[in-house]
Structures are given as C-alpha cells and as structure tokens.
C-alpha cells in the first residue's frame, strides 16, 4: 500500500481557509446556474401539459421546486448519509487520489439521492396524490400543477428532518449503539435506519402539515408547527446550531459537562438542544424583529436566515478553517472553545446581515441574470455555498489546496 504525505499550498490554517472559502463561493456562482439550467431542461422535457394552463409565475414556481428537489435529494441528503452516517465508506474504492476519489464519490451521491427519492417519495406517492410520480413530473391540469408544487415542496423539505434527525443523531449520540459494535458498513446501516425512523416521524408530523392543504369540509385537518413555516424554520436553525456545537469544535461540550458515556451524552445533549434552541429563538426574535430587515416579509424569515448564517459560519470554521485555534495554539480547553464560539457568532451575524441585503443580487439565490434558470431564495440559497465547501472538505479532502502525494515523490 502506498504511503502518502500531506502538502499544503499555505502553511497558515487561516490563509488556507480564506482562499478555500472564497474559491468555493466563486464556484457556487458558476455551478448553480448550470445546475438550475439542467434541472429546468429535465422537468420541461417531461412535457407537463398542465403548465400551459397556469400563469408564468406558477410555472416558474413549478420549475423552481423541481430544481430544489434535485439539489436537496442528490446533494444535501446524499452528503449527510454518505459523509456523516456512513463515514465516507467506499470513497476510495476506485482510487485514493484526488480529485478522482471526490468525483467518484460525488457521482455515487447523485445516484444515492435519486434512489432515496424514488424509495421514500415514490412509495408514499402510491397513496398520497401530491407524491405521485405522474403528478410530480407530468401534471395535466392547473389543479394538478398546484398539487405537484405542494408535493415537490413537502418532498424537498424531507431534507430538514434529515438534517435534524440524521445529523443530530450522529452529532449527539455518535451512532450509538451501532458504532464500535458492528463492522462497517453494517454499523452505518443500523445508524441510518434508526435515525431515519425519526426523519419519517418529523416529515409526517412537521413538514407535510406545513405544505399540504388538508381539509374535511371547512375544517383544517392539521395545524402548522409553531403557527407558521418561517417560525418553525427559524427554530430549526437554532436547534441545528445547538446540536452541532459538540461535534463541530465544541469538543463534546456542553453535554460532556453532565455525561461522558452514551447514550446519556446524547440524551443530555438532546435536552439541551431542545431547550436552548427555544431560548436562542426568543433572543434572536427580540433583537431582529425591530430592525425590520426585510420589509413586507414575515419577520421570522430574517430570523431564520441569520440563524442559518450562524450555522453556516460554524460549519465553515470546522470544515474549512480546521477549528482554529487548535489545541497546540490554545492549551486551555475552555478558552479555546469560547474563542471558536465567538468567531462563529461574529462571522455568522456579519454574513447573515450582508446576505439579507445582497441575496437578491446573487446568481444562485435571487437573480437569474436574465438567463431564465431557477434560483434558490434567501434560505435554500445559502445551502448552495454551504454544500460546496462541505464537499470540498469531505469528498475532495481539501484538494487542491491540500494534497496527498506519494512519500517517494516529495
């Protein structure tokens, strides 16, 4: 087996991180218009006769939710399952050299995402009309177009339970009781299966009621979680940030203050997450609502966007800046963790404010540059950049800024 050494383009973690973050942002400006244009071409190729019966805005919405579907299932969900639950299993099956290993694993992810969609949404579509493949891809009437849009949105946001449950389980419970007790990849199969059970619960209990208009006569069958979708999404972002802390630079704290073994660490971490996410939401609402950052929009849209920006800053610092400062730089663990938390919030709040003020001019979030491809909006748009740097770190091993070369070619 070949031995490899690591060669970095820059010795400084900060310099490497800045260059990588900027490069990933620029790449996002390039790849999303291509992705959006391909997605639009695919869905329009199915015909969708019902689009002839609706106005341009509704037709554009139909194309947009399909583009989101391809991205959410084939990029976001696939990455979570491959990188976090399966730990990159099979990434080096073809080669250990980058960028080929990353390209191979990205292609695998595209396939995994399609299969996941067909199994989860396709089976549901046997009984739920909005998830019917015929209605989703080829709506025949204006009513079916409206039904398809509901179906696509509800299926797209299966990604939110995946983030909440699949990632939360890995971050807080460390894939207990499977990790270390069953050989790979079966330990990951167990972890995916158990956490996906809670994904399904969250999907049917929280996501579907947010998008389906279910009624019996004049009576609403369901109520929206927390009263509105923006408020629920804002809470979800706060929830995500609290369960990320132990795994993304918090060195297993704060749950490690109360327990040091599983499943108690996970249970305590989950209790902290539920409670502190609510506290964070109330504080952010009190601070952000009076600013009226998005006149005319529900006030919790701005809260959700900024809370998501803090999550993205946290992930950026972990995946791109390698949790600077390291233990070698700051020996005191408490000080080291609080420095990171301070960085997350300063970067997250600054990015969140700038994003709200500029996303409408961004080619992957708010403007199609007159080219007609679908854009992602204020919340989903942030994921375009987020997923780019997550793939850069996990699938491509930070290539080309960090390279692994054979030891005999130093």
Residue 163 to residue 151: CA distance in whole angstroms = 20
Run of H or E residues at 172 = helix 168-173
Contact residues for 392 (Cβ-Cβ < 8 A; gap 6+): 20, 24, 319, 320, 398, 399
pTM of the model: 0.95
* Contact indicator for 79, 390 with CB cutoff of 8 Å: yes
Nearest to 262 by CA among 355, 179, 160, 384: 179
Residue 343 in this model has a pLDDT that exceeds 60: yes
d(CA 268, CA 265): 5
Does residue 409 register a pLDDT over 60? no
For the chain, what is the mean pLDDT? 95
Q: How far apart are CA 41 and CA 34, in angstroms?
A: 11
Angle between helices 299-319 and 377-394 (to 10 degrees): 10
Longest dimension (CA), the chain: 75
pLDDT per residue as tens digits for the range 307-342: 999 999 999 999 999 999 999 999 999 999 999 999
Residue 4 has pLDDT above 80, yes or no: no
């Amino acid at each position: 087996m070949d031995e490899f050494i690591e060669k970095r383009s820059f010795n400084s973690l900060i310099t490497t991180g800045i260059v990588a973050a900027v490069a990933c942002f620029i790449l996002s400006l390039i790849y999303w218009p291509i992705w959006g244009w391909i997605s639009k071409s695919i869905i329009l190729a199915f015909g969708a006769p019902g689009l002839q019966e609706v106005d341009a805005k509704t037709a554009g919405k139909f194309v947009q939710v399909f583009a989101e579907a391809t991205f959410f299932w084939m990029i976001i969900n696939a990455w979570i399952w491959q990188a976090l639950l399966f730990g990159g299993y099979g990434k080096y099956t073809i080669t250990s050299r980058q960028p080929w290993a990353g390209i191979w694993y990205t292609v695998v992810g595209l396939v995994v995402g399609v299969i996941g969609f067909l199994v989860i949404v396709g089976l549901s579509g046997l009984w739920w009309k909005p998830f019917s493949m015929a209605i989703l891809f080829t709506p025949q009437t204006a009513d079916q177009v409206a039904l398809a849009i509901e179906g696509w949105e509800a299926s797209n946001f299966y990604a939110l339970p995946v983030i909440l449950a699949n990632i939360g389980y890995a971050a807080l419970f460390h894939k207990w009781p499977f990790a270390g007790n069953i050989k790979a990849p079966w330990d990951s199969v167990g972890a995916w299966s158990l956490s996906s059970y809670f994904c399904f619960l969250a999907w049917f209990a929280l996501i579907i009621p947010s998008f389906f208009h279910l009624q019996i006569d004049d009576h609403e069958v369901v109520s929206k979680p927390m009263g509105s979708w923006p408020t629920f999404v804002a809470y979800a972002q706060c929830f995500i940030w609290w369960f990320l802390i132990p795994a993304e630079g918090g060195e297993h704290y704060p749950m490690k203050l109360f327990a040091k073994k599983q499943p108690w660490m996970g249970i305590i971490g989950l209790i902290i997450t539920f409670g502190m996410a609510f506290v964070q939401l109330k504080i952010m609402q009190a601070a952000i609502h009076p600013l009226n950052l998005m006149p005319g929009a529900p006030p919790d849209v701005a809260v959700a966007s900024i809370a998501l920006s803090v999550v993205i800053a946290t992930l950026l610092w972990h995946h791109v800046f390698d949790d600077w400062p390291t233990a070698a730089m700051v020996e005191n663990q408490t000080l080291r963790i609080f420095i990171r938390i301070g960085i997350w919030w300063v970067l997250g709040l600054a990015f969140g404010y700038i994003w709200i003020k500029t996303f409408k001019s961004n080619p992957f979030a708010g403007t199609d540059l007159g080219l007609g491809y679908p854009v992602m909006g204020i919340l989903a748009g942030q994921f375009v950049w987020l997923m780019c740097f997550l793939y850069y770190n996990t699938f491509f091993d930070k290539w080309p800024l960090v390279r692994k070369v054979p030891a005999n070619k130093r």
